[in-house]
């Protein structure tokens, strides 16, 4: 199984839209077999570009923190499953997902730390 996660300093990046790199993790028999970091430089907030890049890597599942609804739709249209609300070191998150023990707190938008506020399920990027 191939999983991709937005990554920052070895942890799941809590804001999908601003991530500059993804960890592509191959999981076999519940253990991480291989991890590769790919850059999406210049594709931040480019829903179609990111979705195509991940599809080309044969990604089956995206595990992330906060992610906007438009990005979820773009990924799902490519046949990629989206699991949001995850946090922690990427290897632990990947193994927990493979074992079926990953605990998530799904949020439509994880825009913490920014100056703007969304009300009524507003459109996050």
Helix-strand-coil split of the chain, %, nearest 5: 25, 30, 45
Predicted model pTM? 0.81
**Other Cβ atoms within 10 Å of 89 Cβ, number:** 13
Query: What would the two tokens of residue 50 be?
Result: 């990111």
Residue 119 has what pLDDT?
34
Cβ–Cβ contacts within 10 Å for residue 51, how many? 22
Give the pLDDT score at 108. Answer: 52
Phi and psi angles of residue 29, each rounded to the nearest 5 degrees, phi first:
55, 40
Q: Nearest to residue 37, comparing CAs of 13, 68, 72?
A: 13
**Ordered structural domains, the chain, with CATH:** 2-99 (3.30.420.130)
Question: What pLDDT is recorded for position 18?
Answer: 85
- DSSP character for 41? T
Chunked into runs of 10 residues, the chain (125 residues) has average pLDDT values of: 96 90 94 92 79 93 93 94 95 95 72 38 39
């Amino acid at each position: 199984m191939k999983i991709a996660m937005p990554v920052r300093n070895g942890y799941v990046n809590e804001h999908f839209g601003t991530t500059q790199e993804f960890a592509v993790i191959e999981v076999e028999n519940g253990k991480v077999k291989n991890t590769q970091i790919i850059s999406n430089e210049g594709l931040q907030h480019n829903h179609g570009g990111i979705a195509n890049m991940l599809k080309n890597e044969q990604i089956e599942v995206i595990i992330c923190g906060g992610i906007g609804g438009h990005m979820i739709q773009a990924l799902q249209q490519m046949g990629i499953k989206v699991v949001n609300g995850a946090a922690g070191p990427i290897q632990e998150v990947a193994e927990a997902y493979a074992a079926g023990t990953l605990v998530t707190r799904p949020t439509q938008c994880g825009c913490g730390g920014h100056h703007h506020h969304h009300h009524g399920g507003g459109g996050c990027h």
